[in-house]
Structure 1
Amino acid sequence: MSDFTIGESDFLLDGAPFRILSGALHYFRVHPDSWADRIEKARLMGLNTVETYVPWNAHSPRRGVFDTSGILDLGRFLRLVAEAGMYAIVRPGPYICAEWDNGGLPAWLFQEPGVGVRRHEKQFMTAIEEYLRQVLRIVEPLQVQHGGPVLLVQVENEYGAFGDDQVYLKAIADLIGQGGITVPLVTVDQPVDEMLEAGGLDGVLRTGSFGSRSAERLRTLRAHQPSGPLMCMEFWDGWFDHWGGPHHTTSVADAAAELDALLAAGASVNVYMFHGGTNFGLTNGANDKGVYRPTVTSYDYDAPLDEAGNFTAKFHAFREVISRYAPVPPLAPDPVAPAPEFSVPLGDPVAVRGVWTAAAALPTLDELGARLAIYRTELDVEGPALLEVGEVRDRAQVFLDGHPVGVLERENHDRAILLPHGRGRLELVVEDQGRVNYGPRIGEPKGLIGGVLLDSAPLTEWTTCVIDLDTVPTAWQSGGASVVGPGPTAWRATFNADGPIDHFLKTDAWGKGFAWVNGFCLGRYWHRGPQHTLYVPGPLVHQGPNDLVVLELDTMASRTAQFTATASLGPTDL
């Protein structure tokens, strides 16, 4: 049992000054059988605390559901932190950003007419209350005063970059208190006067998020936080990648120097990220600041631990800096063995389709409850015809009588395509590539928005087919016909392994799609890069035969699955 409070200039643990040396480690981006390894490596870097967000939409894919199984077992994760002799910071949002789909807000929430987005609106607040009740039921008994690891709980997340509804922030803080949380609460904002003012809350400790100019940013933070400890809640040591862009890295020396400056000033820190992990499945977010850019599957983040949990040069540099301010444990060499290299043929292709349903009006993907769907209608006009869509969110492949015509990309602001003729079966394969996680476009619907026109006339009488991605690994059991052609096509292979060891699946010879190993969705791949491997966590892999399933949306240049020795996350300069 411990007592953790905020003093005049320090955090106080049982009355003594305590500096938080924390690292971000998101349980939902790491296979649960690897949690203990990653936590132990945080301790070995000299950290005393682990921080995590909580993704509302992952825990609650449907209203009334709160899943804590497997990779979502927050309680187990926090208990492992405690078993390692470390403390924890929990950031439940409800909005988390985190380059995570919709910033963690569930898509179902925004199907309610008039629902608010990050403001004090009745429907939004009712849903938040339901969510926080479930999260805090797990966190409350794991606070330090009950013998658990949790030192701090955060209210919302960088709210000053979004709005200034103090009633909303206060209501969130009150709900956290009503959930039995008595450890100190914090807010976090970028150290800009307007953001710290709008996103802060009287009586709640303000913290900052930045990765450079530490001394200057701490002075700004102190101007808004006259007493109490200074803390950088997100010390950005790297960055995330988007499809079609470079792989981001940062200077090890510069990052270490900034961390040194931060600690020399007496501040506490949370390194974001200590270990990034992976956006498994369809969990990646996106940004849209005039151009839509979806985030890649890897969340390596150029962090002290790479995507596979191996030490990097940044780990050793940060550990050396921390050793100047706090004791660090001894570190034994941890050589990295290359992953197995081999290839296996892909076979047994099958067209992946669901049930076709008639729809007079064009439904959004949200209305279909889908992330991937096919829209079909019959055309009957003379000559070449212009097809126009109000807005594509986010990618629509266009087929006419089964032949590919082209692709409408949200990123390119594509909204029109010329069809070679105006008669026949039109099919649009529409993919949600990840919901915007930052800014005013949070919560927007997905799919084809604003209707579809053919030579300026509305197209109606659609049928739709939802592709249930959860069933793709078992597509062959439904008796689908073997095909090699356009449209979503699943392929499968079997590979043998010596045991539960990490693998890297090479994807640069494939087009665009998703991959599963033993029924677990590794995430998205896309030939445009920068990422050209998918990380396969060792705990997914069995000794002996293992199943690989690939759903290809475009075209495969090679019908072979190749495994390679190391990750390929792309060039750092394009």
Structure 2
Amino acid sequence: MHASRLEWKDKQYELGGEPLRIMSGAIHYFRVVPEYWEDRLLKLRACGFNTVETYVAWNVHEPKEGAFCFEGIADLERFVRLAGELGLYVIVRPSPYICAEWEFGGLPAWLLSDSDMRLRCFDPAYLAKVDRYYDELIPRLVPLQSTNGGPIIAVQVENEYGSYGNDTRYLEYLRDGLLARSVDVLLFTSDGPTDEMLIGGTIEGVHATVNFGSRVEESFGKFREYRETEPLMCMEYWNGWFDHWMEPHHVRDGGDVAEVLDQMLSAGASVNFYMFHGGTNFGFYNGANHIKTYEPTVTSYDYDAPLTEWGDITPKYDAIRAVMEKHGFEAGCPLPEPLPKRSYGKVALSESGQLFPQLSKMGSPVDSVWTLPMEKVGQAYGFILYSTWVKGPRAGQQLHIQEVRDRAQVFLGGKPIGVVERWNPQPLALEVPAEGARLDILVENMGRVNYGPLLRDAKGITEGVRIDNQFQFDWTITPLPLDGDMLSRVTYQEAAAPNENQTAGMPAFYKGSFEAEEACDTFLRFDGWKKGVAWVNGFNLGRYWEAGPQKALYVPGPLLRKGANEIVLFELEGAAEDAAVTLTDKPDLGRIEAVDDSFLNFVGEDEAEQA
């Protein structure tokens, strides 16, 4: 690619003096195993697109403060270079905040260890953290800009800021920081097409774009009230939607998606499909929404996108392709063949290890007068255990967990007495014998809020624990991030079929293995299991939960190896009757229960959530 800069003339983009209609699709490198980046990018080109867009997730690149990662699935530079080699331009959105239904909107959890820090505004403490991150990130992107012969044609300043705040000085600081670090491609903002959002999220001298999923004339009309001479660009065309646990799977009719695209292209607009390929919220990286109540996002980020979570084309892909051809966008390459999938059958998880008996080697406990949230003990993700001794006797009382985030299993004297959930924070009946009893509360971080005014979302028990109106003090707190080092310390024993009386409601690890003649994509089913986390060969696939809609986890073939492969579950409430899981070649996203979202007025995330 030649050195050139994206500009505009007569309300149309130009690159190197030549007109360019941007036809882009979103693919997040951190939601796809690197071995499949090329497959997904080629399928984007084969549909007629000329550009790929990606967010940049801060918490992926600085998971611990001052410790940066740009390797493996975090190798942003490799992803951008590969896109360029395949003939695609790249739009990069490195805002400190990305939303994206990603944990904490991409912000690193350790920011919350400072209770006084204010997020996404001109707070010097916050900006100092952003600056240090950008000093690491931006120099990696500068050589890849189109002005240096690379594929990056545009960089975002902040993300949907008008949906959150109106601190113009903050936006200008971010803009100036990009310029000072030698970003010289087109800078832009993206916001919903409403007065409030465009007033709060745009700044003079920076190109503005809008995000929506329908009502094209109305949405672009509102944009034109603010920017009369700039090109029309829908930076996020919401052609599908994401899922929360305990809800039906969301879909949107492909014909409806194609019709709206046709309207955009007929209006002369450029478009970025959000998402073209959603991928997976691996590990503990799923986000959550909190519009009316707390709603955690599932592990799959299939998004009902043109490419499925596992990379297959859909009828929606074909419908989009037809519209692209109508408007003169030819396929840029042949369509790659679907990747093979395989059933490996039932896998017995014949080894198990209960959590509580091995706490002493699992983590480093912290003694505290009161219940501290995760972030105050240096923890980002996973689980956290609060333990204390309750004196007795107590009869007819109630246990209250004040501001639990997000789901707590409560044990008294080593036995489960109930679950307290953030979205339904009911007290539990409590009976304590005269000699007293140990109280254990295991809290799961189910994903920090990624959008809206409740973005600041500390995890664990954030206020305190009461028996009736009496706060309980003197706690031992055990962080359980369940990272690779911690998992390696789990001790297992061979076990026969589980005894329901012994395992019901008790958290434990279960392990088994299977042989693979070849490493192909597969899907891990959890029939009979309740709720937990799954690992394959040490890789955290994400959460499973019988609440649905997701009934199976996608296992990319590159995570497997020829020969023996290991599966580990951390099951919270007791093993399936046969203590086995199944690896099948058939995905299951709860599509039988799917809800068609074509009726939604995709004006902004608030409205869509409320709908």
Pairing partner for 1:380 from 372, 391, 400: 391
Partner of 2:221: 219
Q: Is the 8 A contact 2:350 2:494 kept in 1?
A: no
Residue 314 of structure 2: aligned partner: 312
CA contact (8 A) 1:473 1:549 kept: no
| Structure 2 residue aligned with 1:5 | 6
Q: Residues 80 and 347 of structure 1: is their aligned pair in 2 closer, same or farther, counting only changes over 3 Å?
A: same
What does residue 365 of structure 1 align with? 374
Q: Which residue of 2 aligns with 1:241?
A: 243
CA drift of 1:287 comes to: 0.6
Deviation per CA, 1:130-173, whole angstroms, max 9, x where unpaired? 11222211110000121110000001100111111100001111
Q: Does 1:110 align with 2:112?
A: yes
Change in CA separation of 1:517 and 1:176 when aligned onto 2, cut-off 3 Å = same
One-letter amino acid of the counterpart of residue 562, structure 1: T
Moved more, 446-455 or 231-240: 446-455
Aligned to 1:466: 479
Amino acid at match of 1:369: G
3-state SS of 1:124 partner: helix
Amino acid at match of 2:403: E
Q: Contact 2:515 / 2:562 at 8 angstroms: preserved in 1?
A: yes
Q: What is the CA-CA distance between 1:464 and the residue it aligns to?
A: 2.0
Q: How much has 1:569 moved relative to structure 2? A: 0.7
Q: State whether residues 4 and 148 of structure 2, in contact with CA within 8 Å, keep that contact through their aligned partners in structure 1.
A: no
Match of 1:343 in 2: 346
1:380-419 mapped onto 2 (5 Å cutoff): 380-382=391-393, 383-412=395-424, 414-419=425-430
| Partner Cα distance (1:531, 1:229) in 2 | 40
Between the aligned partners of 1:351 and 1:472, the Cα distance in structure 2 is: 18
Deviations 1:172-227 (A, max 9, x none): 11111111110010100011122112111111111010010112211211221111
Structure 1 residues 481 and 327: CA distance shift in structure 2, 3 A: closer
Q: Look up the match of 2:132.
A: 130
How does 1:329-340 map onto structure 2 within 5 Å?
Answer: 329=332, 331=334, 334=337, 337-340=340-343
Alignment of 1:32-71 (within 5 A): 32-71=34-73
Q: Deviations over 1:439-461 (max 9, x none)?
A: 11112211112211123222112
Matches within 5 A, 1:192-271: 192-271=194-273
Counterpart of 1:119 in structure 2: which amino acid? C
User: Any residues of structure 2 matched to 1:137-176 within 5 Å, and which?
Assistant: 137-176=139-178
Distance 1:255 1:573, change over 3 A: closer
Change (3 A) 1:478 1:566: closer
After TM superposition, give the deviation of residue 5 of structure 1 in Å.
Answer: 2.9
Question: How big is the shift at 1:490?
Answer: 0.8
Distance 1:358-1:272 versus aligned 2 partners, 3 A rule: same
**Do 1:241 and 1:248's aligned partners in 2 also have CA atoms closer than 8 Å?**
yes
Q: CA RMSD in A?
A: 1.8
2 CA distance for matches of 1:67 and 1:231? 32
CA drift of 1:554 comes to 1.3
Query: Once the 2 structures are TM-superposed, how far is the Cα of residue 334 of structure 1 from its aligned partner?
Result: 3.4
Range that drifts further, 555-564 or 230-239: 555-564
SS of 1:411's equivalent in the other structure is: coil
How has the CA–CA distance of structure 1 residues 332 and 58 changed in structure 2, closer, same or farther, with 3 Å as cutoff? closer
CA contact (8 A) 2:509 2:571 kept: yes
Deviation at 1:348, TM superposition (A): 1.2
- Alpha-carbon distance, 1:481 to partner: 6.5
Counterpart of 1:572, as a letter, is A
Q: 1:333 to 1:462 in 2, by over 3 A?
A: closer
Give the gaps of 5 or more residues in structure 1: none
Aligned pair 1:457/2:470, yes or no? yes
Higher alpha-carbon deviation: 127-136 or 42-51: 127-136
Structure 1 window deviating more from structure 2 (55-64 vs 381-390): it is 381-390
Contact 1:385–1:421 at 8 Å: present in 2 too? no
What CA distance in whole angstroms lies between the structure 2 residues aligned with 1:478 and 1:551? 11
On the 8 A contact 1:508/1:526 being kept in 2, the answer is no
Q: Give SS of 1:36's match.
A: helix
Amino acid in the other structure paired with 1:385: Q
Alpha-carbon distance, 1:566 to partner = 1.5
What SS class does the counterpart of residue 469 from structure 1 fall into?
Answer: coil
Q: Structure 1 stretch 299-308 or stretch 369-378: which is displaced more?
A: 369-378
- Give the drift of 1:55: 0.4
Correspondent of 1:568 among 588, 591, 604 = 588
Q: TM-score, normalised by structure 2?
A: 0.91
Answer yes or no: is the 8 Å Cα contact 1:473–1:519 preserved in 2.
no
1:424 aligned residue:
437
Q: CA deviation at 1:431?
A: 0.7
SS at match of 1:156: strand
Letter of the 1:200 partner, please give it: T
Q: Is the 8 A contact 1:390 1:415 kept in 2?
A: no
> How many Å apart are 1:264 and its aligned residue?
1.0
Q: CA deviation at 1:10?
A: 1.2
Structure 2 Cα separation of the partners of residues 316 and 290 of structure 1: 36
Q: Distance in 2 between matches of 1:230 and 1:478?
A: 55
Are 2:575 and 1:556 equivalent residues in the alignment? yes
Give secondary structure in 2 for the equivalent of 1:127. Answer: helix
What is the Cα deviation at residue 290 of structure 1? 2.7
Q: 2:541 aligns with which of 514, 522, 531?
A: 522
Q: Residues 192 and 220 of structure 1 are in contact (CA less than 8 Å); yes or no, is this contact kept in structure 2?
A: yes
Q: Would the aligned equivalents of 2:445 and 2:460 in 1 still touch at CA under 8 Å?
A: yes
Does the 8 A contact of 2:407 with 2:444 survive in 1? Answer: yes
Deviations 1:282-324 (A, max 9, x none): 0000011131000000000000100001111111111111112
Give the Å deviation of 1:480: 6.0
CA distance in 2, matches of 1:279, 1:336: 20
Deviations 1:465-502 (A, max 9, x none): 22231137844x55467786343311111111222210
User: Is the CA contact (8 Å cut-off) linking 1:6 and 1:229 kept in structure 2?
Assistant: no
Q: 1:365 to 1:520 in 2, by over 3 A?
A: same
- For the 8 Å contact 2:279–2:302, the answer to whether it is kept is yes
Deviations, residues 224-280 of structure 1 (Å, cap 9, x unaligned): 111121100000010000000010000110000001111111110100000000000
Which moves more between the two structures, 558-567 or 419-428?
419-428
Mean CA deviation greater in 374-383 or 394-403 = 374-383
Please report how far the alpha carbon of residue 328 of structure 1 lies from its aligned counterpart in structure 2 after TM superposition.
Answer: 2.0
Cα separation, 2, equivalents of 1:396 and 1:290: 21
Aligned residues of 2:484 and 2:538 also touching (Cα < 8 A)? no
Deviation at residue 519 of structure 1 after TM alignment = 0.7
Contact 1:105/1:443 (<8 A) preserved: no
**Residues 1:509 and 2:528 aligned together:** yes
Deviations 1:75-101 (A, max 9, x none): 000010011011000001111000000
Report the CA distance shift for 1:456/1:333 in structure 2 as closer, same or farther (over 3 A): closer
Contact 2:4 2:149 in 1 (8 A): no
Aligned to 2:552: 533
